[in-house]
Structure 1
Amino acid sequence: MNTFGKIFRLTSFGESHGRGIGGIIDGCPAGVELDIDLIQKDLARRKPGQSKITTQRKEPDQVEFLSGVFEGKTQGTPIAFAIWNKDQHSNDYNDLKDVFRPSHADFTYTKKYGTRDHRGGGRSSARETIARVVAGAIAKQILAKAGVSIQAYVSQVGEIKLQKSYKELDLSATENNIVRCPDQEVADQMIARIEKAGHEHDTVGGVITGVATGVPAGWGEPVFNKLHADMGFAMLGINAVKGFEYGSGFEGTRLSGSEHNDIFIKTDEGVRTKTNNSGGIQGGISNGEDIYFNVAFKPIATLLKEQQTLDKDEKSIKINPKGRHDPCVLPRAVPIVEAMAALVLVDHFLLNKLNTI
């Protein structure tokens, strides 16, 4: 289960402290002129050490394409790529070799495989998401030619919540601050909240909001592989994600049907809906409105403070982990959310081509 997608397929490989992380993309159409700088830009948004509120591990995260791209264009053949690890401190994890860290995958990996790579979490590390960001950046470039754009931003950190909807915000301001919130005043509060968690050797979670615009009506499937179901599957597969909602989400449960229904109206642009509680998807298929969603991230499980746990012999033990860790995953997870949304949408874009003449 290391492969994502049906037509545009990504298979990722690698571990946090192994030689590198990489992937193979199959099903990418030929003739796509790739902007490598845009791919590298998304990797820079995800990489560690980018600000005072992220882990200080220093990695250049430079992508190297090994096949499938010639003279800047995709060839329709498998695209293989790698990002080499440069700054592993594996010795920081030696004391944790035989310990099950609270809320980590140590215990479950051991039960499933009978072994595990304890260095930085191995395959369970969020460093694996590098491969998703590379593939997602390519998917974004394909989608851009179809008029589709994807933007994500941090909308909540702990109890600090952005009260405005995406339509009230200038999303182009998302990259203007290190927390990636398009409202500078709220961003400052979020940064202070993350710094507080770091000073206390603790962590904090929050929410990332994603918006896809320009998706035409007709993408998605009516029964299995509904567009919103695939989107939820993609988001829930990101490390530390605990919840997904789209459109009105859980807040929609407070409305009556007459309040919640999106009334169809005729406009110069064609059939539209007066409101968009559906989040751009009805019956599992896009309706031409904006697709918007929220992704909830838990506080990162690694705390640089003493905790009680068990070792592999089920004996009680206290741990005080070392290493370099994010006090909050959200700022670096924004490009990951965008990438997974792009992988879902590009797959449905290509699937839709098969369903039409």
Structure 2
Amino acid sequence: MSSIWGNNIKLSLFGESHGAAIGINIDGIPPGTILDLENIKLEMKRRAPGTNNLTTSRVEKDEFQILSGYFNGKTTGTPLCMIMKNTNTRSRDYDKTKDLMRPGHADFTGIKRYLGHNDYRGGGHFSGRMTAPICFAGAIAKQILKSKNIIVGSHIKSIGDVEDSSFDKTEIAVSTLEDLKYKKTPTIREEKALQMEELILKIKNDNDSIGGVVELAVVNIDSGIGSPFFDSIESKISQIIFSIPGVKGIEFGQGFDISKMKGSQANDELYIKDEKIKSYTNNNGGVLGGISNGMPIVFKVALKPTPSIGKKQRTIDIKEKENTEIEIVGRHDPCIVIRALPVLEAATALAILDLVLEMNI
């Protein structure tokens, strides 16, 4: 089933953007885990829509209700089920254009896959709204990893042609990752955040959208986590990252640029300091043979521009089988990158936790 993921942590995602509710069932959370609900709410707020003029005007408080698997402030070890009610839907925005296939959306592929029975309102089960339950599950994963001193964080590497500095791949302070999540536009260089915000508002006023790149890091992870081939760290992270709507690319360490290097440049030479094995560089992003080597795991994720834009576009009427045009109405993000950060972190935390639990550490 496409909406079920994981080996040691199993997720089952359910709901639609304009349905009664969305939610997730999480199996495999260790019993007795204390949940910091306020911290989970903070992570959910980072992803929530309608918080500023850079996002969609749809306001959803993203208040969650835990139905099972949680008792007396701790997880029971049985499946933890959470739901979030949809409270601010405007389904009429989609009634007029339900037969017009929106360019860049999964309208056409959804109709083909589900024989025309898919919920088209707001993208239905394909909607970015479905990332809210992933953010909830990831917030729990982050808490469990933090108890093991493993921290996941991110920043916006670029939006359009405005580019921020990169993480120092060999040394990333926990405080740096913690500070970033409290920023409106999380960048390493403050002036780049302002330039990105100006660009987003300019694009928004032009009834268009823009994409970008997010750089993520996992620090304090021990060496020896992961497996070669099919359960490698890269494949595990990539699988869940690509489940997030809008993701079109991922690269670890130097990524595609490593192909331009010589072996003498790309190889991460080793040394010992304070009885710990480290490398002078981290071109491979903290992973060799699919297994962590103790250096920070660093990778970048490319997100496409929001496909819903106010400009007139060419498309087809699937019912009448004819060519036509569409002008999309409704409430949409001019750039999904800012709200995607906590979701990408959540997905990363879930992938790492799945592998950590396998090692029984």
Name the TM-score class by shorter chain.
over 0.9
Distance 1:92 1:47 in 2: 21
1:340 equivalent in structure 2? 347
Distance 2:182 2:18 in 1: 31
C-alpha distance after superposition, 1:17-58 (max 9, x if no partner): 001110100011101100001111111000100111000101
C-alpha distance after superposition, 1:308-331 (max 9, x if no partner): 110113211111111100000001
Q: Summarize the alignment of residues 1-357 of structure 1 with structure 2, pairs less than 5 Å apart.
A: 1-115=2-116, 116-166=118-168, 170-175=176-181, 177-312=183-318, 313-353=320-360
Instruction: Say whether the 8 Å CA contact 1:173–1:183 is kept in structure 2.
Output: no
One-letter identity of the residue aligned with 1:153: H
Indicate the larger mover: 312-321 or 172-181.
172-181
Instruction: Say whether the 8 Å CA contact 2:154–2:215 is kept in structure 1.
Output: yes
One-letter identity of the residue aligned with 2:291: I
Identity of aligned residues (%): 38
Distance 1:218 1:331 in 2: 32
One-letter identity of the residue aligned with 2:133: A
Indicate the larger mover: 223-232 or 69-78.
223-232
Instruction: Say whether the 8 Å CA contact 2:316–2:324 is kept in structure 1.
Output: yes
1:66 offset after TM fit, Å? 0.4
Distance 2:265 2:351 in 1: 30
One-letter identity of the residue aligned with 2:132: I
1:180 offset after TM fit, Å? 2.1
1:269 offset after TM fit, Å? 4.0
Distance 1:268 1:142 in 2: 27
1:173 offset after TM fit, Å? 4.1
Indicate the larger mover: 11-20 or 310-319.
310-319
SS at match of 2:154: strand
Instruction: Say whether the 8 Å CA contact 2:153–2:181 is kept in structure 1.
Output: no
One-letter identity of the residue aligned with 2:122: G
What stretches of structure 1 of length at least 5 have no aligned partner? none
1:182 offset after TM fit, Å? 3.1
Distance 1:163 1:122 in 2: 36
Indicate the larger mover: 230-239 or 104-113.
230-239
C-alpha distance after superposition, 1:202-241 (max 9, x if no partner): 0000001101001101110122211111111121111011
Question: How many aligned positions are there?
Answer: 354
Query: Cα–Cα, structure 1 residues 69 and 155, in superposed 2: closer, same or farther, change >3 Å?
Result: same
Instruction: Say whether the 8 Å CA contact 1:177–1:184 is kept in structure 2.
Output: no
SS at match of 2:104: coil
One-letter identity of the residue aligned with 2:85: W
Distance 1:177 1:77 in 2: 36
Instruction: Say whether the 8 Å CA contact 1:175–1:181 is kept in structure 2.
Output: no
Root-mean-square deviation over aligned CA pairs: 1.4
C-alpha distance after superposition, 1:121-141 (max 9, x if no partner): 100101001111011000111
1:176 offset after TM fit, Å? 5.1
C-alpha distance after superposition, 1:161-213 (max 9, x if no partner): 11343458944442454222232100000001100110000000000110100
Distance 2:167 2:217 in 1: 11
Instruction: Say whether the 8 Å CA contact 2:165–2:189 is kept in structure 1.
Output: no
TM-score (normalised: structure 2) = 0.95
Instruction: Say whether the 8 Å CA contact 2:107–2:123 is kept in structure 1.
Output: yes
Instruction: Say whether the 8 Å CA contact 1:179–1:330 is kept in structure 2.
Output: no
C-alpha distance after superposition, 1:70-117 (max 9, x if no partner): 111011000001011110011111111111111110000111111221
